[in-house]
Amino acid sequence: PSPSSSQGTGASEAALRCEIEELKRKDHALDQEIAQLLSEGYSLEELEKHISLLHEYNEIKDAGQMLLGKLAVIRGVTTKQLYPEYDLELSD
């Protein structure tokens, strides 16, 4: 292999190592957050139910955004212009 290709491999390995370390830090932070919630009296079942409901909410919101986007294309307007028509806030 040429020197540049071996440098590319080394760079990509270094990037992967950095990404792995970042994921480990996030995993540790999430473990700490879960421990904190458990110490505050939340149960694992309650936390799992809450996470499940958040996932469902996000899926519904994504579907709504997709439909709003398609409607905006059909009408030839921006999605933002449709928000007042449906009593939506930009933060919705």
Q: What is the pLDDT of residues 45-92, one digit of tens each?
A: 988 899 999 999 999 999 999 999 999 999 999 999 999 998 988 876
Q: What's the rounded Cα separation, in Å, for the pair 68 and 82?
A: 8
Quick check: 71 and 61 in contact, CB under 8 A? Answer: no
Q: Is it the case that residue 21 has pLDDT exceeding 70? A: yes
Quick check: 83 and 89 in contact, CB under 8 A? Answer: yes
Is-above-0.85 flag for pTM?
no
> What Cα–Cα distance (Å) separates residue 70 from each residue in 65, 78, 80, 82?
9, 10, 12, 11
